[in-house]
Structure 1
Amino acid sequence: MAGAEPSGDLFGAVPGPDNGLTDVPGLSVGHASATTGDPVSSGVTVIACPAGAVGAVDVRGGGPGTRETDLLKPSNSVQTVHAVALCGGSAYGLDAAGGVMAGLEARGIGLPVLGEDGPIVPIVPAAVIFDLPVGDPASRPDAATGRAALDAALDAALDMPAAQQSGRAGTVGAGTGASAGALKGGFGEASAVVAPGRTVAVGLVVNAAGSVVDPATGELWGRRSGLGDEFDRYGVPEQAPAAGLSALLSRGLGGTKIPPGPATGLNTTIGVVATDAPVTKAQAERLAMAAHDGLARAVRPAHLPMDGDTFFALSPVTPDDGAGGGAPLPRAGVSDAELAVLSAEAATCAERAVVHAVLAADSAFGVPSWRETVAR
């Protein structure tokens, strides 16, 4: 209901200083826009972990576009990821991951494959959203876009503290052409710090077929997941007035992209859940699975046949891992109890990140933003 205060967190979590992925040491985030199209309506977001990270993935949508997901299975050998690329441009956007690889190689970052003096291979999983119906379908990120996003991430990490890297949310990077149901979507982040000082964070691109708004009340589904007043900074209501809700619902059933909406076909929400807890590869997979629970609370319905919903999980390598040659030694992992708390927070962070993406987005390419909707 309007005016209700957000509920408290079950485990007493509070947002990290940046309320995003850079609250996890060893990670940085960069965005870049495509260089083609009129207008430019796509881009890339790179989450870089140059010292390496244990990685995993969970794919729930029926129409995924991905790269290097098989090697992230716990049963497979590769343990280390160096970056994740979230890309616009549908399957064309997977080219951007090659640029991320080239940029990492140029900086000497990668997995030695023939000993310390031999060549290196950066490990860069990637996923794409289907944003071709929005803006110009010829606007597609390529290898140069991916390399620019990587450079933005690594240069930001060198030049400024993590807490000063915040503020890039909404219509940026891979979120440039994203639409959340009948609303403008984009890139959003959230983090949670829980006892004994562990951090979980999620960064995602919301481009879902489902709706982020309760059609009965005009309230964002994920609004009540907020920690304290974290959503107040946008200066907009989190409930649409009658006129705004009516306009939204006229664009698609229940505020979705299902006809008579502005676009049908493929969609997808993609993202990364990260933690500073020393989880194993199998435990990281559990975190990726849990993030989908938060997505399903903030976007309804989620994981549809026309979505490609994909979450990667990252746990950066630390000196305690005994890393050598870019590959961590096998970890003991965390207890079941700690993994349960981390999983719960992964879900809540995903839910909150969806709200941040929607509140921060600008109207673009004929798709109304939340700010425009609540102004009616």
Structure 2
Amino acid sequence: MTTGPTNSLVDVAGLRVGHAHRVGGGFRTGTTVVLAQGEGAVAGVDVRGAAPGTRETELLDPRNLVERVHAVVLTGGSAFGLGAACGVMDRLADAGVGYPVAGGVVPIVPAAVIFDLGRGGTFRAVPDAALGAAAYDAASFAATPFAFAGPSGTAHPAASGSVGAGAGAVAGGLAGGVGTASEVLPDGATVAALAVVNAAGSVLDPRDATLAGARYGLPCEFDHLRPPAPEEAEAWKPADAPSFNTTIGVVATGLTLTKAQCGKLAAVAHDGLARAIRPAHTMTDGDTVFGLATCAAPAPTHDAFQDVLAAAADVFSRAVAHAVLAATGREGAPAYLDVFPSARRGQP
């Protein structure tokens, strides 16, 4: 197995990713949008957390009408942040992209949120339609070199860390964020994931404080890491976790899948989430994963689909690890390598 060229969700042909965030002036939050080019992507969803904040997920039931979505929005701001999807809808509608109806089009834009209220100091400093539009613009122009990572602004579409919807995320007392990973199967199919990790549960292996999701890394992916020194692991005493949390994300492939198969893809990605975060799917989590198929390649055989499902769990676990590893530390939420500096090979 190998990673795709960028080891990120954009390795799936037909998908683009945009991040926009606001940090400072009371804000520490953001929005990430996944755009499906052309006619959109077939989509499914699986919600495992008991406190989800979502939009348009009922449309993705295989029994319901709509087959394809035009974007997926992942955002901070709890239920307030669902307004970011309106900015993405407006951009798509202005471009003539959406489900055709009399008089125009209606873009199909499911969304899910994390709880990051007050992380920047102001409870109602949340993503809005303008931030959603900024994330859309970052995805639309991702092929150009304009993007930059900064306290407020956008980030590279393959970025991991404290960007986009992960700007205010925490993970078991550590800084959380956006993580992404991809895998190319032996038959050439690509499976990839993007996770926004904002977990009350621990992202560490309780035996040695390694990142639990890194156990599923591909050759050389996490070779720069090693178990931290026992005294560092023993000294780590995370602050009390926030009372509301959530890990959300997307898992995708370029193969042709049905809505039901996309739902299964999302369901198996939750296995990867639970491997990398413990506990997961609690009463105060809103854990939600969307499954996407761009249908650029033929439908898989029965056996090949089993390989896709196995890869979906693995890439989601790896995406969780990348989110925490790349996150920027701050007061009350230190970075993983700040707490465990010996985990980086070459450090004393």
* TM norm structure 2: 0.90
Offset at residue 152 of structure 1 (A): 0.2
Match of 1:139 in 2: 125
**Take 1:34 and 1:362, find their aligned partners in 2: how far apart are those partners?**
14
Q: Give the direction of change, closer, same or farther, for the CA distance of 1:183–1:238 in structure 2 (3 Å limit).
A: farther
Q: Which residue of 2 aligns with 1:5?
A: none
Matching residue within 213, 216, 221 for 1:225: 216
- Superposition deviation, residue 266 in structure 1: 1.2
Which residue identity does 1:198 align to in structure 2?
A
Equivalent position of 1:288 in the other structure: 266
Which of the residues 143, 159, 173 maps onto 1:168?
159
Please give the root-mean-square deviation of Cα atoms over the aligned residues, in Å: 2.0
Contact kept in structure 2, 1:18 and 1:166, CA below 8 Å: no
Cα deviation for residue 18 of structure 1 reads 1.0
Q: Is residue 299 of structure 1 aligned with residue 290 of structure 2? A: no
Change (3 A) 1:72 1:271: same
Aligned to 1:24: 12
- After the TM superposition, which residues 50-199 of structure 1 pair with which residues of structure 2 at under 5 Å, given as runs? 50-51=37-38, 52-114=40-102, 118-136=103-121, 137-157=123-143, 167-199=158-190
For structure 2, the residue ranges without an aligned partner over 5 or more in a row are: 147-154, 343-348
1:245-256 superposed matches below 5 A: 245-248=233-236, 250-252=237-239
CA distance in structure 1 between the partners assigned to 2:234 and 2:120 by the alignment: 24
More strand by share: 2
TM-score by length of 1: 0.84
What does residue 347 of structure 1 align with?
313
In 2, Cα distance between equivalents of 1:14 and 1:48 = 24
Contact 1:20 1:191 in 2 (8 A): yes
Q: Residues of 1 paired with 2:95 and 2:295: CA distance?
A: 18
Deviations 1:136-181 (A, max 9, x none): 2232100000000011001114679xxx955521000000011111
**Identical-pair percentage:** 51
Distance apart, 1:342 and its partner CA = 0.4
CA offsets, 1:66-105, max 9 Å, x none? 0000000111110010000000011110000001100111
Aligned to 1:44: 31
| Contact kept in structure 2, 1:100 and 1:143, CA below 8 Å | yes
The answer as to 2:207 corresponding to 1:241 is no
The secondary structure found in structure 2 opposite 1:156 is: coil
Are the counterparts in 1 of residues 31 and 73 from structure 2 also a CA contact under 8 Å? yes
- Equivalents in 2 of 1:187, 1:240: separation in Å? 23
8 Å Cα contact 1:170-1:186 kept in structure 2: yes
